[in-house]
Amino acid sequence: MLFRLLAILSLGTAVCLPVAVAQDDEGGGSGDDSYMREELGVNGTTTPQIQKLLTDLDDFQPLPVDLLAENDLNAVFPNRFQTALHFGITVADGFVLVINERPQSVEALGRALLQQARALGVGDSLTRRAASLIDLGRKGDWVRMREELIKTQVDVEQAMMNLHDEELAHLISFGGWLRGFQLAANATAEHYTPERASGLLRLDVMSYFIDRLDSLNPRIKRSPLVADLVSKMKTVFAIASKASGRPPSQSEVKDMRDLANQMVAISLSKVNDKDHLLDIRE
């Protein structure tokens, strides 16, 4: 449910993600790009249909929108790892703003995403989508905003292929998934039902991201920041695995919520030049 929702919420949204090659609204990649898609990790897990993502997010309402305040949209990170995670988290926040119809926040978020995309070296050739989303947000046209998000699906896949950077794509996608998991776990802990709790159990997607994190460059994996994040992610997977076949208990949901909060805090925290955490936002 939610894990299909936010496997790459960050890239799936592409609220303001500029790409090197723009496409028209009808979209469409090159005629035979299946091999490149597989090489770059573009598949059913990393790029689920946006329409399904938005529907799944609705299932966890009311979402804890106050959690978005912990994300400093203008934050700058000294490492590629956090920059990518921050981009994914910020795009996930964009989904929440659309779902909860917060027009006053859309413009700031759109501009922040453009800035972060440039920091990631993506470029700025697709600002039209950003301008359109900001304009629709000002008008409060949430139906058309959702339609515009859906139209970005092909653009996003093309951006991943143009980047030729599987690692970057997965880090961005993990950031978006992580924020979505945090929101869902907090919502479920606050308003527990067995149905909601069951929606947290997507072992396939959890395993997918653990594999992606384990495949990072060894130098990156050894950094305290990444090691701590990976350790907590594996603990979440262990809790979810224990609950497989049944709804997680309230206690298990709270444990997963706490770990998700800690992982997002790690992702957004300041580090020194050796990637040691300098602060953790509670």
Each of the 282 residues of the chain gets a pLDDT tens digit; together they read 444 445 444 444 333 333 332 334 444 444 455 554 555 555 555 444 445 655 677 778 888 999 998 898 888 888 888 988 998 888 888 888 888 887 667 778 777 877 777 777 765 555 676 677 778 878 888 888 777 766 654 455 566 567 666 777 788 888 888 998 999 999 999 999 999 999 999 898 899 999 989 988 888 888 888 999 999 999 999 999 999 889 999 999 999 999 999 999 999 988 766 555 544 443
Q: Residue 244's closest CA among 198, 195, 194, 196?
A: 198
In 71-172, DSSP assigns E strands to: none
Residue ranges of alpha helices (H) inside the chain are: 2-5, 9-13, 34-39, 50-58, 80-99, 103-119, 127-139, 142-163, 166-190, 194-199, 203-214, 218-221, 224-242, 250-267
Contact between 181 and 3 (Cβ < 8 Å): yes
CA-to-CA distance for 114 and 153, rounded, in angstroms? 17
Q: Is the dihedral of CA 32, 38, 42, 45 positive or negative?
A: positive
CA-to-CA distance for 145 and 40, rounded, in angstroms? 28
CA-to-CA distance for 131 and 124, rounded, in angstroms? 12
Structure tokens at 250: 């309230």
Structure tokens at 157: 């896949």
Structure tokens at 15: 């609220």
Tokens 């770990």 -> residue: 259
Q: Residue 68's closest CA among 171, 182, 200, 148?
A: 182
Torsion of Cα atoms, 261 then 263 then 268 then 273, to 10° = 150
Angle (nearest 5°) at CA 173 between 33 and 245: 105
Q: Is the dihedral of CA 204, 70, 269, 238 positive or negative?
A: negative
